[in-house]
Structure 1
């Protein structure tokens, strides 16, 4: 406990914490450092709910390549920040939250004094460049605010944001050589050739505009900016690290390195110089746009009219307070810190992707206007369809509908005419398997949270699922499974397609489309085609139907699965648990199988198979850090031992979530890990998105009130709660006992009281 409280209440943050406690009820419980250590891949910087700008420190600049080969350290820096690092390179404006892949880190800014250094230097020798050592004792972060003292030059950096504007405040020492460095080369997931082109134009001595085009994970991404200083700079300069580009178009007639008004090239850094007095503050407003430089400037002027840093910080925190207050819980401080940090992480992504005038760049690279909806991007759908979007159907129904409209716009603009798989910034990244946007659309429609054209949504779902030339869909349709000769993830791909097909069937049933329902409900049974009764596992098989040999159900390297093994994926049939239990030999065998998943010991050799596999997020062979296992603990509800679901959930919660930098047992994956926590802490979980059911578990909150958008409240009460009382002896809803092990979405939306009666003994 000493470590946790040292992290939460350092001597430098007590005053700020106390101040905020008097102003906000819930913001003080958000601990943005949670997940910044090890594999959580969150960032501690400033952002507003679902904001376009994520302004956060970078603690290193790791190249994708090292000595011409893949650099495994890239994986550590998916969010740009690692808690164990000792130096800060600068502060950039775009970040993914909790992903297992890297990109972004656009427009890095770093203040310095003294001799100008445009090279970042190294962590081992920060004096060799502009990076600076820092201490966590002099670092503080909260929702929409980050502060740190850069020890190298004794500069205090403070960051806050609006939806489209990053607001920097740097407190300098006295100096005739104070600098603001703008690094257009820096980025997350950097490699030679990622920067396609950058352009920078100095409009006057306070306004700079430009853009950056990159070819990273998103293969064709352009982002524009407008940057305004609170104080005129007396000198500026550029340096290109691709020398042949410096004079392109100017025939050597100008010296572009000093006070020239513009520069373009692929590898550029710029500096802006000031004279400062002791403790003078130089402020920067830095706006982004997916459309144009003028769009960025319009965003800046519209969202931040003056130089009041504290006002912008407060306005952003008020937005967070509003979103966090959608669920009011009772419990101890540690519980609230876990819960409201999970709420915070759940409402960072997807991110806004349009200017204040509703213009945005579409997947077709043309400029579109979002008519009647807010356009979003950053759809990590392999992760977030499971719990994040179902959470939004309860606490963010209007915003979730806009996200679905954004997906339908993606479908309209897609040259492949498909719904998004993993999309970001007018790009389809094609990451992970399945076509899980269909589950998000079906889930919202089935639950009645469909302020969108459901018939058009069904059309898009069907077109996506019939796309024969995409990732073995044609073979899957013809054979009823994906053969291992066609894909290295043939089994998991088959299972995910089968679930998505079931989701499409539910949407078709909702709309009375019987022929489509029959087609896809039949396809949803394809999971049976990769089950091997002789071993009791899902298993790769050839196009001739032969099961793959050799076969090790614990291995992740023998093919057939993505981010898991046969033991995990055999349980991935969320659309038909009853059918799976029958297939696996009935209740007793199924319960024994589930038990073994949590209790077995994985030998070290299985963790050595790939560089990315660690023991983070693993209990036995249950991998909580990978999403395909997120429904597993709730599967006991379909057996004669539902009390084991309650037992497992209350075991998982404190092991995988705690209020510390290493407090997430795996990548947060754009809020999915956090959404699992929120649901499970409340006592129910959406095992099968596309259904209106939530499976009951064992709540860890003392009480919760979900404030619904329709003005009603859904109240969760827990009697006899204690660390020992993990079992549910009875559940009452609006005065009537629930005999089933689930509650329906329609019950939640109507409001009422759900009461859990807890016990130390199971039934």
Structure 2
């Protein structure tokens, strides 16, 4: 079933307030864009955007969001088409597959009978979950609210390490707030502890191990503990703990926890009324009270990944009072400050909503993991204190090295230093000699492929972002490409031969750039030579890249040829993966038969993609391997086709709706592609400072530059005569002088100034055609 539901932006009623809101970047944010995991709507098992609609702040540790489901491939814990909510969790992941993780500290306001299990989507009446009034659901930057069928209105907002909920109850003698301490999106926490501190406060923790599923249903090795300090505005007088008896020999992964047998055991949990302290395998806490109609009850909590003391300090520092409105206003202010790094003029209201929501989604991760006092949980399981950088987590490497991290080098360069130092310190603390490719809460998850951290560092160093030990970074990068790479063999064989070989070749090129940076000529020569490994998987007879077996022989060519999904490729086919030679486009084009032949093949690649840009065998914007491909037209002498197709993708693959993302958001990558493309810039090869120029969606874009990293204060791109039909660049000026290149160097952006583009309805085959 399709849910093509367009969502309108909320506006203030007074004229002055409306004018103010219209000028606020945060006012355009619609967190419900992409908030569906529906495989039916996506037409493929990957589902849709998988974003969450709840409250958060830029790169914050805490996100409070409605959760509608625990099992399945539902990483955000929420999908718009679900008709009931099981609670509001304090931690979320954005846009990922592989079953997800977090979704901890699930809070639910209830009335009437106490239930210890959530119930199911099919039978919500069997648990504490509740249906909700869809029309009442409101999501904006830093805020979420909904009216539940139990007549409770739930509102939530956050600070970086803490959050506050406001529940407006009906008249009822049995109103309560209950907290499921065992709950986890992809499984369960395996051990919990809770203690009543006084008549307003509880504290405790939830331990999450691979035995309890989570990331990759345990295969992602996520192992973390969430500590909490929670306070209630209404005194805790009638309270208790529920404890389910889970046999030691029961499995506790995703499929176990969601089974009928397991949920029946949870539903039969012992309710220990008045018990103040408990440790167990499946615990929950409730506080019960009578309420008058319209009575507001608040709960606020701080989290920490180190200890309860950290959670207590985080809450005290950020939410000292019970003013929900103050916290909300502060959250909106943080978003306005972050989103104002890029100011846009022109475009439709839908395009502005898509743009600023993309900015919003690109600023969720990598999130801070250190407490307000600078302490963070190390990879060795011990507390550490960071003074030189902000410790961050959730590095979705295979996704984000392509657009998300290059975007941050422009709008948040300090974050890049943070991320590099975070990955380096993690390797040291875990006594590893290589970088993790997909880090989650200190776990070396091994998710996806390649050595994306090497790309991140090569790109940063080339751009002058150098707040880390480059010698140590190079040593770890070299160890990484030696441990995971094509090596002297010159290719990778097996089931994913093509993806491995091509991507490892690129990361070897990145390692070569870092070797050059530390004056290691031997390393440079070795890795530069290995960067040519892509040539070893090009079959001249087939005229395309082809996977190899481990012994070096060609894998059997399928009937569907290069369109065969998973034929030597990760989540793609050879037609899609084969364009990935970003570090040597000229060499790739030569193998493929030259500019004219490649241009014609690229045109077919795009023309055969479906109008809605959903998952397909041609240009598949729903997945990362092709995200640089529209910009290859710039490299083969046809920049007008880059302009044509980036504008087409921006309008066809991004919408202000629940189904507004054609694939998983992937921790900012899908949104970052849009941001860069909509402002008219995008790299082909991170690690190379060349930024491709394309047709901007907006008439004027002003990027605020960070004075710690840039000599200029702002960089402006103007597009005169821009319109949905005038999408082609006719001529350009850079700082008042004629400019005929279809690319610009990163240093010229950081120097500040203005790139002026003159737009027209017909392709200009003169502008930008020379390299």
Alignment TM-score > 0.5, same fold = yes
Correspondence 1:720 to 2:721: yes
| Cα deviation, residue 372, structure 1 | 1.3
Equivalences for 1:562-581 in 2 at 5 Å? Answer: 562-581=570-589
| Cα deviation, residue 600, structure 1 | 3.0
SS of aligned partner of 1:575:
helix
Correspondence 1:388 to 2:421: no
Unmatched 5+ residue regions in structure 2?
Answer: 39-47, 216-220, 249-269, 766-771
Residue-by-residue CA offset, 1:309-332 (whole Å, 9 max, x unaligned): 000010111010001001100022
> Matched residues in 2 for 1:510 and 1:107: separation?
46
> Matched residues in 2 for 1:257 and 1:370: separation?
41
Contact 1:20–1:28 (CA under 8 A) maintained in structure 2: no
1:666 alignment partner in structure 2: 663
Contact 1:47–1:160 (CA under 8 A) maintained in structure 2: yes
| Cα deviation, residue 554, structure 1 | 4.4
| Cα deviation, residue 125, structure 1 | 2.7
> Matched residues in 2 for 1:9 and 1:211: separation?
38
Describe the shift of the 1:196–1:34 C-alpha distance in structure 2 as closer, same or farther (beyond 3 A): same
SS of aligned partner of 2:272:
coil
> Matched residues in 1 for 2:53 and 2:609: separation?
34
Describe the shift of the 1:211–1:615 C-alpha distance in structure 2 as closer, same or farther (beyond 3 A): farther
Unmatched 5+ residue regions in structure 1?
Answer: 63-73, 246-254, 603-613
| Cα deviation, residue 539, structure 1 | 1.3
Residue-by-residue CA offset, 1:149-180 (whole Å, 9 max, x unaligned): 112x2101001000010211101112221111
1:57 equivalent among 34, 41, 66 = 66
1:238 equivalent among 234, 241, 245 = 241
2:739 alignment partner in structure 1: 738
2:34 alignment partner in structure 1: 35
1:45 alignment partner in structure 2: 54
Contact 2:401–2:455 (CA under 8 A) maintained in structure 1: yes
> Matched residues in 1 for 2:176 and 2:474: separation?
55
1:400 alignment partner in structure 2: 416
TM superposition score normalised by structure 1: 0.90
Equivalences for 1:271-350 in 2 at 5 Å? Answer: 271-331=286-346, 332-350=348-366
> Matched residues in 2 for 1:536 and 1:648: separation?
25
RMSD: 2.1
1:66 alignment partner in structure 2: none
> Matched residues in 1 for 2:17 and 2:153: separation?
20
> Matched residues in 2 for 1:498 and 1:543: separation?
17
2:675 equivalent among 670, 674, 678 = 678
Correspondence 1:708 to 2:698: no
> Matched residues in 1 for 2:648 and 2:473: separation?
39
1:478 alignment partner in structure 2: 488
| Cα deviation, residue 256, structure 1 | 7.4
> Matched residues in 2 for 1:631 and 1:382: separation?
14
Correspondence 1:211 to 2:211: no
Q: Which range moves more in the overlay, 585-594 or 679-688?
A: 585-594
2:24 alignment partner in structure 1: 25
Contact 1:256–1:262 (CA under 8 A) maintained in structure 2: no
> Matched residues in 1 for 2:590 and 2:302: separation?
57
2:230 equivalent among 227, 236, 250 = 227
| Cα deviation, residue 86, structure 1 | 1.1
1:752 alignment partner in structure 2: 753
> Matched residues in 1 for 2:722 and 2:733: separation?
15
> Matched residues in 2 for 1:366 and 1:103: separation?
22
> Matched residues in 2 for 1:593 and 1:440: separation?
30
| Cα deviation, residue 243, structure 1 | 5.6
1:649 alignment partner in structure 2: 646
> Matched residues in 1 for 2:413 and 2:9: separation?
36
2:253 alignment partner in structure 1: none
Describe the shift of the 1:278–1:256 C-alpha distance in structure 2 as closer, same or farther (beyond 3 A): closer
1:521 alignment partner in structure 2: 528
> Matched residues in 1 for 2:330 and 2:12: separation?
22
> Matched residues in 1 for 2:68 and 2:733: separation?
50
2:464 alignment partner in structure 1: 448
Count of residue pairs brought into register by the alignment: 714
Contact 1:27–1:143 (CA under 8 A) maintained in structure 2: yes
> Matched residues in 2 for 1:587 and 1:327: separation?
35
> Matched residues in 2 for 1:483 and 1:581: separation?
23
Residue-by-residue CA offset, 1:175-206 (whole Å, 9 max, x unaligned): 2211111112222112xxx4321111111221
> Matched residues in 1 for 2:16 and 2:573: separation?
48
Q: Which range moves more in the overlay, 271-280 or 162-171?
A: 271-280
Describe the shift of the 1:25–1:615 C-alpha distance in structure 2 as closer, same or farther (beyond 3 A): closer
| Cα deviation, residue 294, structure 1 | 1.3
Residue-by-residue CA offset, 1:14-38 (whole Å, 9 max, x unaligned): 6599957625621111111111134
Residue-by-residue CA offset, 1:9-60 (whole Å, 9 max, x unaligned): 57xx765999576256211111111111341011110000000001100112
SS of aligned partner of 1:109:
strand
> Matched residues in 2 for 1:123 and 1:4: separation?
21
